Structure 1
Amino acid sequence: MTIWIHTLEGRNYSQDSDDHSLMCRHLEAIDEVCQKIGVKSLGELVDYTDQEYNYEEFDDEDDDEDVALDPETGLAYGIDDMTWFDAQEGLSSFKALKTAVASSVITGLDADEVVELIEELDNCISILEKSAAQAGKFHLSLVE
């Protein structure tokens, strides 16, 4: 499992994301840091639509009907099926989290993983800066 960051500006949906698997693996420890520094936890910013759809699809394997793809997302579900959060609020949380990660130890991470986590956070910050500039929204999509 991994986390991808998706953005939404108006009805423009972007799922162009790096893989944030370290963030996913250590989500519980990261959320503890978020709680300590007083920002929204990353776990609260996760959208489970993709995972729920895939589990539902697995359960309905007897259904041979082809699923029509949503024209805006190219997926079997649409923008309005997903949960979205304010990009500016997310940007503030990610910046504070990056500062905290850079200055302290997160349980279960060695020095190399801290560097990698900071790279993942930098990627999210870069994406959120662009989205926040357009009053956009985002979420962290949990995918397998």
Structure 2
Amino acid sequence: MSAMRLATLEQRHFLLHNATLQPLAEHMNGLDVLCKTLGVTPLSRFVDLTALEFQEAASLIPAAEATPLPLDPETGLPWSIEDMAWYPISTGMTTLEALSGHLQRNRPREVSGANHRQLLDALTFCEDQLRPLESEGAQFHLAAGQ
């Protein structure tokens, strides 16, 4: 996975956060193994691949025939809210809090080689952005390839 960013959706308010979550993308497999051990939903289940799929489809069109696509007025992207996968923040918070808590107390082998501080910072960023929206019934995903 090249890049990953947090996206939130409250009612029809879409926000793609600027911060890249590179440590999460780089260590997704190890974090998923850790999630299994902790008994929570794997972090990779919250990844949305719309941008990667769109880039792949666009690469199949010959450059001479490619025309710029109009941007969706709600997302500012060539795809709409309905094109993306969304997950309840409450489910994601369970996973994020379990991972964060475990990483604060341990140095698990599943993410050996990771910069521990950067990994915790990325998880904390997600938690900080999602926590205020959780009670609103908002949704989120981790946008791959953006």
* TM-score (structure 2 length as normaliser): 0.91
What runs of 5+ residues in structure 1 fail to find an aligned partner? none
1:35 is aligned with what amino acid? K
Secondary structure at 1:131 match in 2:
helix
- Give identity over the alignment, percent: 24
Deviation, 1:61, is: 3.2
| CA RMSD, Structure 1 to Structure 2 (Å) | 1.5
Equivalent residue, structure 1, for 2:87:
85
Alignment of 1:66 with 2:59, yes or no, is no
Q: State the number of aligned residues.
A: 143
Secondary structure at 1:16 match in 2:
strand
Alignment of 1:34 with 2:55, yes or no, is no
Equivalent residue, structure 1, for 2:4:
3
Farther off after superposition, 92-101 or 71-80 = 92-101
Deviation, 1:65, is: 2.5
1:1-144 matched pairs, under 5 angstroms: 1-62=2-63, 63-106=65-108, 107-110=110-113, 113-143=115-145
What runs of 5+ residues in structure 2 fail to find an aligned partner? none
Change (3 A) 1:83 1:91: same
2:142 is aligned with what amino acid? L
**Cα distance in 1 between the residues matched to 2:111 and 2:127:** 23
* TM-score (structure 1 length as normaliser): 0.92
